[in-house]
Amino acid sequence: MSDDPLPIRSVEFLGGMAEPGGWRPPMALPEVAFLGRSNVGKSSLLNRLVRHRAVARVSRTPGRTREINFFRLNDAIVLVDLPGYGYARVSKERHATWRPLIEGYLGNTPTLRGAVQLLDIRRDPTPDDRDMLAFLAALETPTLIAVTKIDKLGRGAATDRIHALADTLAIEESQLIPFSAVTGEGRDDLASAVAGLIAAAAAPPALPPLSDPAPR
Ligand SMILES: Nc1nc2c(ncn2[C@@H]2O[C@H](COP(=O)(O)OP(=O)(O)OP(=O)(O)O)[C@@H](O)[C@H]2O)c(=O)[nH]1
Ligand SMILES: [Mg+2]
């Protein structure tokens, strides 16, 4: 497709970071990180975005992606699949480890150009989601919000949920990118926004600071 906002020429899995300050890819390419609750659909969204069925591991077992996984796209961009947070049934030990791993990565990556926060269309943002958004705002990392699994709701219900999410986060609806890894809806919008993050490195954040993590 010639008008693809993010044409895919090559995708490679580079490796994973298992603990804060651990291994990371040696190259200094612009990076975009994808984060969200366990099971929200990060790995599925990444696969759709790069048009590869299984470059990022998708699983039925929430909490499966435990490491930070790095993928190189077109020899030009590094996409980063962060471990899912906030799954109630993970052991206390692992529950305590996601935050330093994710926050350590976000806070110590000078090549980080932006982040994509995922929210499930059927759920309200959790305190962990709000903490993550506030953390990204404090770092002044340009942040996009992708609303996942929109195929799970009918049109009307999906539209209502988009209104509600924009309202509860006190942002414009245009800042939410509706997405389905099943139908592919939203792929090009997301691709275009991600390409924009890379291109607009020096531009102001895509979202106004979400400094108040308290629900309205
Ligand atoms: N219907 C529907 N299911 C989806 C969508 N995206 C993901 N899923 C399903 O949701 C489950 C979790 O998807 P993953 O992509 O593994 O989610 P994740 O956020 O990477 O999960 P962790 O790595 O455990 O944090 C899988 O069963 C997927 O098939 C979507 O857009 N629509
Ligand atoms: Mg995953």
| Residue 110 domain-assigned (yes or no) | yes
- Assigned domain for 181 exists: yes
Residue 215 lies in a domain: no
**What is the reported pTM?**
0.88
**CA angle 176-180-182, nearest 5°?**
175
* CATH number of the domain bearing residue 42: 3.40.50.300
pLDDT of 105-145, one tens digit each?
999 999 999 999 999 999 999 999 999 999 999 999 999 99
Query: Would you say the CB of residue 117 lies under 6 angstroms from ligand 1?
Result: no
Q: How many whole angstroms from 159 Cα to the centroid of ligand 1?
A: 21
Does residue 157 register a pLDDT over 60? yes
Give a yes or no: residue 4 inside a domain: no
Residue 16: which domain range? 11-199
User: Is it the case that residue 202 has pLDDT exceeding 50?
Assistant: no
| Ligand 1 and 65: CB distance under 6 A | yes
- Per-residue pLDDT band for 204 (boundaries 50, 70, 90) equals low
Which 8-state DSSP code applies to residue 83? P
In a domain, 204, yes or no: no
Is 216 within a domain? no
pLDDT above 60 for 61: no
The answer to whether residue 183 is domain-embedded is: yes
Measured in whole angstroms, the distance separating CA 147 from the mean position of its chain's CA atoms is: 10
**Would you say residue 206 lies in a domain?**
no
Q: How many CA atoms lie within 13 A of 48 on its CB side?
A: 22
Domain count, the chain: 1
Which among 39, 42, 190 is the best mutation to test ligand 1's pocket, defined by most ligand atoms within 8 Å of the CB?
A: 39
In short, whether 62's Cβ falls inside 6 Å of ligand 1 is: yes
Locate the ligand 1 atom nearest the alpha carbon of residue 183 and give its number.
31
CB neighbour list of residue 42: distance below 8 Å, 6 or more residues apart = 34, 35, 36, 56, 65, 81, 82, 84, 118
- Is the confidence at residue 54, as pLDDT, over 90? no
Q: Tell me the pLDDT band of 62, cut-offs 50, 70 and 90.
A: low
97 band by pLDDT with thresholds 50, 70 and 90: confident
147 CB under 6 A from ligand 1?
no
Ligand with minimal distance to 45 CA: 1
Q: Which ligand is nearest to the CA of 44?
A: 1
